[in-house]
A and B are shown apart, each in its own frame.
Chain A
Amino acid sequence: MQNWDAMNDDDFRMEVRRFIEQNYPEDLRFLAHRPRFNVIKPWLMLLVEKGWSAPHWPLQYGGMGLSPRKLLIFMDEQGRWGVARQFLGESGTVQLGPMLIRFGTEEQRQTLLPKIRTYETIWCQGYSEPNAGSDLASLTTEAVIDGDDFVINGRKIWTSSALDATHMYLLARTDKQAKKQQGISFLLVDLATPGITIRGIKNIAGTTDYCEVTLDNVRTPRHNIVGGLNQGWTVSRSLMGFERINTGSPRRAEFAFKRLEALARERGLFKDAGFLDRYTQLGLDLADLKAVYMYFADMVSRGETLGPDLSVLQILSSETNQRITEFMLEASGDLGLTVSAGEDDNEGVDALTPFLVMRAVTIGAGTAEIHRNIIAKRILNLPA
């Protein structure tokens, strides 16, 4: 077994770069959307074959055993080449795997991790509900013990990639008497179980990426609980290090900025002093966002614990993304509205799709307002 973590940083970077450049499908670079599984599958299978599908898992579970420092290199290189987010945002390898390693039983690790790593099972995350969004702890999906099973009833919504998933990990209330956060358990469910209905929800960008999942008397064996009864909140909040700085990466903003540049070249906008001023401002915003990101990335590299100030990165990153795509829409004018969505469109740069897609970044990973609440209360110690 290759010990990737023992490699010198530069050699490792070059090895990763070479592999990506030689193998990643050209037509899937810098996608505006998260691709469907069957589109990205050939690439994921190459990663599996190479042993690279779970880079941050320990070697003993089939991961690459990368330290945070090497992981950042690994992710940087994917971002640099515009590798689809399917891997980075994938719920099984990035989210569930580490949680199982931290909280799962040995049996869960032995049976579940190999299938996650090889994409034999594909996982989606059942957290949000119609009446539990920002206030997630008010969720009402209920799981009741009945013999050897939990019986689950409720509705999950905004579940990304549920149409491609085979399994779901979810939060359900297992003690109605307990305080909000304390009566919740973390359960695993096979989506083929009777009683599950999945409905795709079309988003404003025109794609059907997220879903509503209805659970009607769905049975899952009692051993499919992670972290013990009523420990679900702790398990779901346990993501650490790079798993958390992922959504704050400046790569998407950088990509948006490059598209803005392409648009400007195409339309000759750089001759316009007004355009250049705002373009420069955004370029500086991006440069300073990178500085903030690197501060947190360096913390992760040194193995330090991230605090609530990570919300600063989350807000900056998402809002910089939005500002760039908003300006791009404005700069493209009516012509930008008529090009069809699609990255390799020869008719011109599509300004509309990125603008619409980026509406979600200040919502999905915790709304920008919730992150401002976190800063105000937990960092600035402002009174309640």
Chain B
Amino acid sequence: MTNKIVNATDSPPPGVTDKDTESSSEIREQLALLRDSANRFTAGDAHIKRARALRGTRPGYDLDVWRKMAKLGWLGTLIPERFGGVGLGCAEMATICEVLGRSLLPEPVTAAVVLAGGTLLYGDNEELKSELLPALTKGQMIPALAWRENVHHCDFLAVDTRAEETPHGVRIFGAKRLVVGGVFADGFAVSAQSRSGIVLYWVPSAAAAPGLSFRVLPDGRAIADLTLSGVEVPASHRIAGPGAAITALARAFDEALIMTAAELLGLSTKVFEITLDYLRTRVQFDKPIGSFQALQHRAADLYIQQRMCRHALDEILSSVQKPDLHPDTRGALASRIKARCSDASLRITRDAVQMHGAMGFADECDVGLFLKRAVTLSAWLGGAQVHRRRYAKLALTEMAS
């Protein structure tokens, strides 16, 4: 990664290598099948209607939809078979997330399955995994990750919440904010400082409930703030100890960034299709407005943004699949795509509103829903600027020194 930017002359050139084209076409076919199946699930605009109707309600999610996705195996995509999952990779998960993003599905798949589920999966407590992960894949247990605290910067290492040791486990003190999926979670993975560094504990929702309060995101979905005033958690609920917790958080965080980018690409693609339809059919000055060059070039620019996201995502998905990937490289790739898709989706959704004219400004028009979801997901886990800086830190450090 570093080499790619810093010293292109000495890096291996980005040309074609001896990769097995046959197996890569097989992979493409599999992904296409998965995409078809996801498209069938989201066909029509039922989920968009649901997303509109559920705005501002609590929990704002439909458990039936959740269980249907579990049945399709989607919730266990990244989870190994020994924990009841399917054991596939990021490319498969991203395919699903992209299609869900297109449909504005309100259920927080990335937050629950990729971010919180990933934290569980990449932790070091095998017993806890055996207990929680199969239930997660079946849709019987929904986790949420409580990592965000009240600091300006968006960094999962900025943890003030404390885990104080007791004879049987820990007591947790602290305030977590903006827990996506926290509204209907069955338990929370909570990051906290222990005497030996950051650790992760599993807090069942029954124990967490008294400290929960709710707010509404720009896209109308409810989220939770979580105050922990000495909640007692047994030692067996430690998801990951010092060291392992940071590794687990980092990986889950990076994968969630990539999946969020895929969702953003999905919703951008869809809203662009809607906008193109409008440009072809809306008539002013006796012509479809899409015949005007000012709008054509604007549309062409959005298309370029979309293609850039598409190909960058595809490249990153094939890179993160490599087994010997350095965490910094993965982090740089994840931040790169989150920055790109955040910027592009905001631009595409803003322009979608503009090109719809006064209709685009009306709440009854769906493009506003896309705009607000883009605003929400772009900021979640850090916006474009945050991730460009993280990328600079991870991939361009040699340069700055």
What residues make up the interface of A, taking CB atoms closer than 8 Å to B?
Answer: 8-10, 13, 69, 72-73, 75-77, 79-82, 254, 257-258, 261, 264, 270, 276-277, 279-281, 283-284, 286-295, 297-298, 301-302, 309, 312, 315-316, 369, 371-373, 375-377, 379-384
Within 8 Å by CB of A281, from B297, B314, B315, B388, lies B388
Q: Taking each of B14, B391, B396, which has the highest tally of chain A beta carbons within 10 Å of its own beta carbon?
A: B14
Could you tell me if B304 and A312 are in contact, using CB atoms closer than 8 angstroms?
Answer: yes
Distance in angstroms between the alpha carbons of A280 and B276 in the assembled complex: 32
- Across the interface, name the chain B residue whose C-beta is closest to A375: B300
Bound CA–CA A105/B287 (angstroms): 48
B291 within 8 A of A: yes
**Mind listing 6 A-B residue pairs with CB under 8 Å?**
A288-B340, A301-B21, A372-B296, A373-B297, A380-B300, A383-B290
A297-B303 in contact (CB<8A):
no
Interface residue? B16 (CB, 8 A): yes
Contact B388 A280 (CB under 8 A): yes
- Counting chain A CB atoms within 10 Å of each CB, the highest count among B16, B276, B290, B308 belongs to B16
Q: Closest CB-CB distance, A368 to chain B, in whole Å? A: 9
Query: Contacts of A69 on B, CB cut-off 8 Å?
Result: 16
Is A73's CB under 8 angstroms from B290's CB?
no
Q: Do the beta carbons of B15 and A372 come within 8 Å of each other? A: no
User: Which segment, of B3-11, B195-203, B241-249, faces chain A?
Assistant: B3-11
Docked complex: B218-263 residues within 8 A CB-CB of A: none
Give, as a whole number of angstroms, the nearest-CB distance from A288 to chain B: 4
Report yes or no: B14 in contact with A290, Cβ–Cβ below 8 A: yes
- Nearest chain B CB to A298 CB, angstrom units: 7
Q: Are A376 and B297 in contact (CB under 8 A)?
A: yes
A384 engages B385 (CB within 8 Å) = no
Chain A residues near B303 (CB-CB < 8 A): 312, 375, 379-380
Instruction: Find the A residue at minimum CB distance from B296.
Output: A376
How many angstroms between the C-alpha atoms of A69 and B15 in the bound complex? 9
Please give, as numbers and ranges, the residues of chain A lying within 8 Å of B336 by CB-CB distance.
284, 287-288
A380 and B299 form a contact (CB under 8 A): yes
Q: Say whether A372 contacts B8, CB under 8 Å.
A: no
- Nearest to B301 among chain A residues (CB) is A372
CB pair A376–B299 under 8 Å, yes or no, is yes
In the complex, are the beta carbons of A316 and B276 less than 8 A apart?
Answer: no
Q: Is the CB of A276 within 8 A of B392?
A: yes
Q: Are A258 and B279 in contact (CB under 8 A)?
A: no
Is residue B284 within 8 Å, beta carbon to beta carbon, of the partner chain?
no
Given contacts A382-B276, A383-B291, A384-B291, contact A376 B16 (CB under 8 A): no
Identity of the chain B residue whose Cβ is nearest the Cβ of A8 in the assembled complex: B18
| A82 CB contacts on chain B under 8 angstroms | 9
Known: A270-B399, A288-B311. A76 touches B14 (CB 8 A): yes
Which residues of chain B are within 8 angstroms of A312 by Cβ–Cβ distance?
303-304, 307
Beta-carbon contact of A316 and B308 below 8 Å: yes
* Contact in complex: B311, A292 (CB < 8 Å): yes
B400 is an interface residue with CB less than 8 A from chain A: yes
Q: What mask results when residues 354 to 388 of chain B are scored 1 for a CB within 8 Å of chain A, else 0?
A: 00000000000000000000000000000001001
Known contacts A276-B400, A383-B290; decide if A375 and B311 are in contact (CB<8 Å): no
Cβ–Cβ contact A383 & B400, under 8 A: no
**Residues of chain B with a CB closer than 8 A to A302's CB:** 21
**CB within 8 Å for A287 and B297 given contacts A309-B307, A383-B280:** no
Assess whether B141 is interfacial by the CB under 8 Å rule: no
A277 to B339, CA, bound (A): 12
Complex contact B396–A280 (CB within 8 A): yes
Please tell me the size bucket of the interface on B. Answer: 35 or more
Name B276's contact: one of A13, A258, A380, A384 (CB within 8 Å).
A380
Task: Enumerate chain B residues within 8 angstroms of A295, measured Cβ to Cβ.
Answer: 311, 314
Residues of A within 8 A of B13 (CB): 13, 73, 76-77, 79-80
- Interface readout for B268-301 with A: 1 if CB under 8 Å, 0 if not? 0000000010011000000110110101110111
Q: How far does the alpha carbon of A346 sit from the alpha carbon of B303 in the complex, in Å?
A: 43
Closest 6 CB pairs of A and B: A376-B296, A76-B15, A375-B300, A372-B300, A382-B290, A291-B315
Q: What is the distance, in angstroms, from B205's C-beta to the closest C-beta of chain A?
A: 39
Q: A277-B388, A376-B296, A382-B291 are in contact. Are A284 and B304 (CB under 8 A)?
A: no
Check A284 against B340 for contact (C-beta < 8 Å): yes
Query: Given the complex, which residues of A lie within 8 Å of B4, measured CB to CB?
Result: 287
Can you name the residue of chain A whose Cβ is closest to the Cβ of B316? A291
Distance, CA A276 to CA B399, complexed state (A)? 10
Q: Which residue of B lies closest to A250 (CB)?
A: B14
CB-based contact A294/B14 at 8 Å = yes
Chain A nearest CB: distance from B391 CB in Å?
6
**A286–B276 CB distance below 8 A:** no
**Contact status A382-B388, CB under 8 Å:** no
Residue B154 CB within 8 A of the other chain = no
Separation of A316 and B311 alpha carbons in the complex (Å): 13
Contacts of B300 in A (CB 8 A): 315, 371-373, 375-376, 380
A327 to chain B, nearest CB (A): 14
Can you add 4 more A-B contacts, CB < 8 Å, to A280-B392, A280-B396, A381-B280?
Answer: A254-B8, A277-B389, A280-B388, A309-B307
Of A10, A287, A373, which contacts B18 at CB under 8 A? A10
What is the bound-complex CA distance between A287 and B293, given in angstroms?
Answer: 30
Give the chain B neighbours of A283 by CB distance below 8 A: 5, 391-392, 395-396
Interface string of B1-37 (1 = CB under 8 A from A): 0001110110001111110010000000000000000
Q: Residue among A289, A295, A376 with the most chain B CB within 10 A?
A: A376
Q: Select one of A81, A276, A287 contacting B312, CB under 8 A.
A: A287
Given contacts A280-B389, A284-B340, contact A291 B312 (CB under 8 A): yes
Please give the distance in Å from A17's CB to the nearest CB on chain B.
Answer: 9
The CA of A81 and the CA of B8, in the complex, are separated in Å by 10
Give the CA-CA distance A373 to B279 in the complex, in Å.
15
Shortest Cβ gap from A164 to chain B (Å):
29
